[in-house]
């Protein structure tokens, strides 16, 4: 849970004799940091294990005055450094299947297996927000999945691309294309390896534009060069609305 109001929400009471997990603990306000520190110093109020995560260096946050050194001292008793998903793609299928199992259990659905083509596509996607983004992607994919196997076709089109064209898109481009002609050349080189259907190209273009614009439909409409009604119709067609 990010930036929790511990007392008001009863998080500490719920964690008594259990575990309290705080994600992005560096985002806690100074007031909540002090409140948590006071609780950790108590001996009779709550008995719980505290696990916290952060995507930034807490040592640097302390130096910048954004994080209390006393709280860091509590958290430093045991530390585990994890590389981002994009740096360990071999782990993605296992984490994805565990996430699917968790989501289907919450929804009361039968177990759904992750297909090889879906696993391949996920492994070649740069998850900038790591497991949070992976869970969002799988939640959407499960809504599109109609059987007991989650295939690449159920994933967002932008993630489907590696599975469709057999091309590793996770490798950084040393000089990103800065003109329409260069972008067309990159697309041509990808498609020359394995063709894509027009429907898939269109869906990829829409998914990529929405991701780039932060789901801003007006801006996406302008960049794609299509009208609002047309875009909404295609979003509905591809299960985005």
Cα–Cα distance list, 118 to 77, 181, 186 (Å) = 39, 31, 24
Residues whose CB falls within 8 Å of the CB of residue 49, separated by 6 or more in sequence, listed in order = 18, 19, 20
Q: What is the pLDDT of residue 162?
A: 60
Averages of pLDDT over each 10 residues, the chain, 241 residues: 48 72 88 86 68 88 92 85 89 96 93 93 86 92 91 80 52 49 64 69 80 83 90 80 60
Q: What is the pLDDT of residue 190?
A: 61
Which CATH architecture group holds 6-75? 3-Layer(aba) Sandwich (3.40)
Distance in angstroms (rounded) separating the CA atoms of residues 79 and 52: 10
Strand partners, 21: 51
DSSP code, position 101:
H
Question: 130 and 85 in contact (C-beta within 8 Å)?
Answer: yes
Please give the CATH number for the structural domain made up of 85-174: 1.10.8.60
Domains 6-75 and 85-174 share a fold: no
For tokens 């064209």, name the residue. 165
- For the chain, the domains span 6-75, 85-174
């Amino acid at each position: 849970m990010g930036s929790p109001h511990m007392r008001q929400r009863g998080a500490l009471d719920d964690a008594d004799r259990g575990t309290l997990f705080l994600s992005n603990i560096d985002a806690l306000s100074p007031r909540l940091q002090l409140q948590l520190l006071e609780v950790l110093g108590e001996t009779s109020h709550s008995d719980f294990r505290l696990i916290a995560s952060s995507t930034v260096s807490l040592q640097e946050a302390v130096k910048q005055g954004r994080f209390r050194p006393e709280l860091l001292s509590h958290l430093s008793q045991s530390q585990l450094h994890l590389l981002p998903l994009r740096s360990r793609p071999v782990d993605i299928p296992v984490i994805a299947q565990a996430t699917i199992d968790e989501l289907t259990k919450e929804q009361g659905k039968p177990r759904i297996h992750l297909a090889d083509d879906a696993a391949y596509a996920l492994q070649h996607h740069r998850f900038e927000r790591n497991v949070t983004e992976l869970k969002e992607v799988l939640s959407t994919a499960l809504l599109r999945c109609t059987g007991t196997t989650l295939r690449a076709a159920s994933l967002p089109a932008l993630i489907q691309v590696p599975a469709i064209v057999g091309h590793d898109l996770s490798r950084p481009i040393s000089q990103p294309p800065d003109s329409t002609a260069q972008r067309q050349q990159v697309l041509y080189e990808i498609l020359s390896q394995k063709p894509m259907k027009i429907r898939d190209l269109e869906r990829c273009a829409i998914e990529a534009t929405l991701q780039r614009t932060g789901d801003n439909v007006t801006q996406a409409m302008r960049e794609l060069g299509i009208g609002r009604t047309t875009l909404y119709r295609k979003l509905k067609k591809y299960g985005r609305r």
